[in-house]
Structure 1
Amino acid sequence: MFIIYLLAMMAIGLVFYFRTKNLSDYVLGGRQLSGWVTSLSAQASDMSGWLLMGLPGAAYLTGMDSIWIAIGLAVGTYLNWKVIAKRLRVYTQTSGDSLTLPDYFENRFKDNSKILRIISAVFILIFFLFYTSSGFVAGGKLFSTVFGISYIKALTIGAIVIVAYTFLGGFMAVCWTDFFQGIMMFAAVVMVPIIGIKSLGGINETVNAVKSINPNLLNPFVDTKGISLSLIGTISSLAWGIGYFGQPHILVRFMAIKSAKEVKKARMIAMIWVAFSLAAAVIIGMVGLVYLKTPLIGNDSEKVFLIMVSKMFNPVIGGILMAAVLAAVMSTADSQLLVTASSLTEDFYKVLFRKNASEKELVWVSRIAVAIVAIIAYYLALDENSSILNIVSYAWAGFGATFGPTIILSLFWKRMNKSGALAGMITGGITVIVWKSLSGGIFDLYEIVPGFICSVIVIVIVSLLTKEPSEEIKQEFDMVYLKIQEN
């Protein structure tokens, strides 16, 4: 089943290899995504391997207090689709037909110095290296658990497959594989807890079994020792939601949707997917606590879904469900590889080295960049004791604080200028990096919160203290507003 699945993904990459004619096709699919493909590919690339491994593992260890992360993510998903999606789609096309986020920042603020493009591309490279490595770690743990091979061999196999179809087919291959992977992820994450609960005798029996282990696991307001969750801990979990506004691999889906009118349908599909998937992922961890007789210690808890599947199903069905985990891993890693490669090509190579490069040359540079970024991410993933959730949380915070405030204010505040955008991005990114290195007291707060707040404050202050945007920028802002009203 694994081999069939992998061959199918490779075939999709090959199909779109022959359809890719220029850089716009490779990095944005020519802006031709339907509502269904946009919504499912956005959510599949968003949730990644941590939906089926990281979040169930957290619930397995700490119980219902992990629900606060799920709530934060669900609210953040809705606001991102409701507030950002349509406006970003219209603005990126109106403002120089921008292909990447750095491209958009440069065009939005008419930055001839290229500094906005370069700084934003640097932060994309830094944080996506960590994010992509988390996907490789998840893939390595998956192959290692399923086939009983060493982690390094497993990691190598997973990385090669992901790189292969991203290298070949670009954005459309990534989105169409993500579409099918999103369907598989949804089926797997909903099916496993239902069958697990049924095998344990029903909901009441499952709840009573969890209570017998530790009644505190069912209380979302206390930890496993019965101590009330701290305000810092609760805010940190909910704050995952504000990270959505700055995730390049999700925002690029909004930029690529066929029409702004498709956004409403896509939002509805995405919210149904997210609500059921997040709730089911938490339940998997709780059910696994009872279902599995051998306790999972530390980061091994992230294998709870994999082990439950291997025990519940025959090899054919189990193979399909295991492939769903691989789908979750691949759907995010491929998106991150592509966004990073497009930034390196569009925002470094073309800007600094080959301004007149042909479309064919740029496509091949993007493909080479995919391979280079993958090699570095592979190196970072070599430690098999790495926690998927911890790696993701750092990268998530980095993007959320670096780009989130800049995206929101650039779309809704006419007075924002280039200086404010630059200062905000640098402040948000550096705050996350510094805050992460500190611990104790207030520094236990999730680094996205101080990073996001500091970035907003700096953008507003610097924009107000420096020169107003030009009339050209203001007129374009008003034009975008009118187009949004029409849609």
Structure 2
Amino acid sequence: MTIDSAAVPAILAVGQSNSALATFVLYTLGVFVIAGLANRLLQQKSFLSEYFLGSRGLGMWAFALTFAATSASGGSFTGFPAKIYTHGWVLALWIASYMVVPICTMGLLGKRINQVARISGAITVPDILRDRFESRALGLMSTVLIVFFLVFNLVAQFKAGSLILETLLTGVEPFQHQAARVGDWISSAATSGGWTFLLDVDGNPVAGGYLLCLLTFGIAVIFYTTYGGFHAVVWTDVMQGVVMVFGVAVMLPLALSQVGGLENATQELAKMVPPRPAIICVDWGAEQTEDGVLPSGSWLRQPGGSPDAPPRIFRTTKPALYAAGTSQVCGVETLEVLSDNEIARLAGPDSPLTFLDADVADIIEGDKYAYGTTEEQRGSYVTAPGPSRTDSSGFLPLGVAISFFFMWAISGSGQPQYMVRLMAFNNSQTLRRAIITVTVYYSIIYFPLVIIFVCARVLLPGMENEPDRIMPQMAVLLTENAGVGWLAGLLVAAPFAAVMSTVDSFLLVISSSVVRDIYQRNISPEASQRTIKWMSYFCTLVVGLIALFGAISPPKFLQDIIVYVGSGLAACFLFPVAAALYWPRSNKWTCIVGMLGGFGAHLAMHLIGMQINGSFVNAYRLFGLDPVVVGLVASLLSVLIITPLTPAPPQHLVRKYFYKQPARSRPAQGG
């Protein structure tokens, strides 16, 4: 079977229909309606408990879907698809253990952390640790670690939301006009005005469309989270969880039908090798009459040396400026397609691509992938360890595969943003049913995503330089090919929903930690409800604006930030929190040293990697293991070694948290 040539877009920035935009706008308006309804609850109940925990009253569906939607972040629908597109089928192994995350995360800590939070009246994770050991220092340290990691993750989520929104708006004329004007201002401010924060990681001015979308997305999500609090987050998470399942359910059959079936997609993938960077000169053959720019994403080809020789195909990865009176522009950065089957399909007589009417000359070939580009490695997209730009052993060698089992399944239990959800359900039956529901939910989401974006590798060539755009671009492509362009708005809402549900959760975790654990419990214990209320609003707003500012020039790969933050939080919190909940002999030094040991070992692997590999995210792998395993082991050893060497905890704390309470003082629904 052959692939429908109409499935490959002539220009990858496909114009959107107004109906798709209208669908998306209606969805966003629904989010604000929910925030307004949630704000009314804040007027009726205790502000702190309601704003940050929803008064601990979540039922099964609300608890399950808000937990699932918080976990399925911008990484799941933006960074994860980008990794699938870049490395192929091996991502099924990479994500496999995510199906048991609910069993580990909710089953290991869920009931016990809910009980301890109710006994102490805790609202945040630092609250629990501080009260469990009566240690102000421990509460402050855990607050600092949470804020440090989650602000980084917020930057990644803001970038994801902005890219999704930009993809939807590309081709909408008013947006394009404003984006061009903002782009001109950015270029002038960054180059002449010294506003270097408007330059991206490669030193180029940030695109005007991206900045517009970043401001729109950022202000929207900050507003509804600040205004509505925990119930706004939970209710929108429920809606967003449904939207995510719907998006995957629609995209999967569309992708399979347009690629000619899963068997055909895999066969095509087996013939491919990754593209190669190349710097070229583009010659128009005649002098240009005015200054201009060669856009990023333009397709070019150089004919073969003989009638039977295949052409060479290139796609520009950055804009290139040229001046009036010149006929040639050199130094153009491109990716060259190397797979014979891709070249035949894209350069054939039925090619849907529109190639630039210019000649290619003076080709300077860049480095091929460290693993996956040679003839012997053909098929690396369909076998482990998968292609890799930087590692000659591949993307997922055995040690890293084992590490990611721990990363997703085990270390997920150490994420404070999930612990907060575990403090909010209403009883044990809710917890048990939610574990089953979320496990099924993840199975429905993640494996179909692997299939969809394996198909995307065939349907959408040349996107290796901007892989984080692959999810919204694929949604647009599939719906337009199927003649239902209006549906793109809902499909793009799926990754948008994932990002929003994660951003709002992180904002609340950070602001609750700052307001509750720093301001109320250390600076102003007698602060009034009104003061706490406005401090909470102010903190949520400020943290969101800081993350928005940081997202102006974020790192290239979202998933790299998400993996660093998730593994770092787990290394700091998993074993200290588990000891606090289950080990009566543990004390404040157990948690302090355990947190610092995990944090230090995890950070050290990244700093060593920066020295050896030239990149902070490309960490050093001790014994071939990812830093998350090194950090977890260091944290566990610290907990086990330091606890017997330090004084036993006061008996009144042991009795409070480990002895059965009299029935009249026990929480009615403590689990």
Is TM > 0.5 for Structure 1 vs Structure 2? yes
Q: Report the CA distance shift for 1:481/1:86 in structure 2 as closer, same or farther (over 3 A).
A: farther
Q: Report the CA distance shift for 1:237/1:438 in structure 2 as closer, same or farther (over 3 A).
A: same
Distance 1:297 1:342 in 2: 39
Q: Residues 118 and 670 of structure 2 are in contact (CA less than 8 Å); yes or no, is this contact kept in structure 1?
A: no
Q: Residues 161 and 496 of structure 2 are in contact (CA less than 8 Å); yes or no, is this contact kept in structure 1?
A: yes
- After TM superposition, give the deviation of residue 408 of structure 1 in Å: 1.7
Q: Describe the SS at the equivalent of 2:246.
A: helix
Q: Within 5 Å, which residues of 2 pair with 1:226-305?
A: 229-241=396-408, 242-292=410-460, 294-298=461-465, 300-305=466-471
Letter in 2 for 1:57: A
Distance 2:386 2:220 in 1: 42
Letter in 2 for 1:158: F
2:133 paired residue number: 109
Q: Residues 384 and 397 of structure 2 are in contact (CA less than 8 Å); yes or no, is this contact kept in structure 1?
A: no
Q: Within 5 Å, which residues of 2 pair with 1:110-259?
A: 110-111=134-135, 114-148=136-170, 149=179, 150-213=209-272, 214-221=378-385, 223=387, 229-241=396-408, 242-259=410-427
Normalised to the residue count of structure 1, the TM-score between the two structures is 0.94
- After TM superposition, give the deviation of residue 258 of structure 1 in Å: 1.2
Q: Within 5 Å, which residues of 2 pair with 1:452-463?
A: 452-463=632-643
Distance 1:49 1:342 in 2: 22
1:19 paired residue number: 41
Distance 1:182 1:296 in 2: 28
- After TM superposition, give the deviation of residue 386 of structure 1 in Å: 2.8
Q: Report the CA distance shift for 1:417/1:40 in structure 2 as closer, same or farther (over 3 A).
A: same
- After TM superposition, give the deviation of residue 7 of structure 1 in Å: 1.1
The CA RMSD over aligned residues, in Å, is 2.2
- After TM superposition, give the deviation of residue 105 of structure 1 in Å: 0.4
Question: Bigger CA drift: 476-485 or 38-47?
Answer: 476-485
Q: Within 5 Å, which residues of 2 pair with 1:258-407?
A: 258-292=426-460, 294-298=461-465, 300-313=466-479, 314-383=484-553, 386-407=556-577
* 1:98 aligned residue (122, 125, 128): 122
- After TM superposition, give the deviation of residue 224 of structure 1 in Å: 6.7
- After TM superposition, give the deviation of residue 11 of structure 1 in Å: 1.0
Distance 1:454 1:231 in 2: 21
Distance 1:224 1:343 in 2: 39
1:47 paired residue number: 72
- After TM superposition, give the deviation of residue 253 of structure 1 in Å: 0.9
- After TM superposition, give the deviation of residue 243 of structure 1 in Å: 2.4
Distance 1:216 1:442 in 2: 22
Q: Residues 597 and 634 of structure 2 are in contact (CA less than 8 Å); yes or no, is this contact kept in structure 1?
A: yes
Distance 2:107 2:660 in 1: 17
Q: Residues 90 and 260 of structure 1 are in contact (CA less than 8 Å); yes or no, is this contact kept in structure 2?
A: no
- After TM superposition, give the deviation of residue 255 of structure 1 in Å: 0.4
Question: Bigger CA drift: 336-345 or 189-198?
Answer: 189-198
Letter in 2 for 1:398: G
- After TM superposition, give the deviation of residue 320 of structure 1 in Å: 0.8
Distance 2:555 2:595 in 1: 32
2:281 paired residue number: none
Q: Residues 23 and 360 of structure 1 are in contact (CA less than 8 Å); yes or no, is this contact kept in structure 2?
A: no
Distance 2:387 2:167 in 1: 29
- After TM superposition, give the deviation of residue 64 of structure 1 in Å: 2.0
1:468 paired residue number: 648
1:83 paired residue number: 108
Letter in 1 for 2:557: S
Percent identity, aligned pairs only? 26
Q: Describe the SS at the equivalent of 1:437.
A: helix
Letter in 2 for 1:139: G
Distance 1:76 1:335 in 2: 18
Q: Residues 141 and 384 of structure 1 are in contact (CA less than 8 Å); yes or no, is this contact kept in structure 2?
A: no
Q: Deviations over 1:437-483 (max 9, x none)?
A: 22155357432221111111111211110111222222234336998
Larger RCO: Structure 1 or Structure 2 (Cα < 8 Å, ≥ 6 residues apart)?
1
Structure 1: runs of 5+ lacking an equivalent: none
2:621 paired residue number: 442
Distance 1:259 1:466 in 2: 36
Distance 2:260 2:161 in 1: 33
Distance 2:413 2:660 in 1: 19
Letter in 1 for 2:227: L
Q: Residues 515 and 536 of structure 2 are in contact (CA less than 8 Å); yes or no, is this contact kept in structure 1?
A: yes
Q: Describe the SS at the equivalent of 1:126.
A: helix
Distance 1:486 1:347 in 2: 23
- After TM superposition, give the deviation of residue 59 of structure 1 in Å: 1.0
Please identify which structure carries the higher helix content. Answer: 1
Q: Report the CA distance shift for 1:384/1:344 in structure 2 as closer, same or farther (over 3 A).
A: closer
- After TM superposition, give the deviation of residue 191 of structure 1 in Å: 2.4
Q: Deviations over 1:333-355 (max 9, x none)?
A: 11000110000000011122211
Distance 2:575 2:265 in 1: 43
Q: Describe the SS at the equivalent of 1:99.
A: coil
Q: Residues 127 and 395 of structure 1 are in contact (CA less than 8 Å); yes or no, is this contact kept in structure 2?
A: yes
Q: Residues 89 and 260 of structure 1 are in contact (CA less than 8 Å); yes or no, is this contact kept in structure 2?
A: no
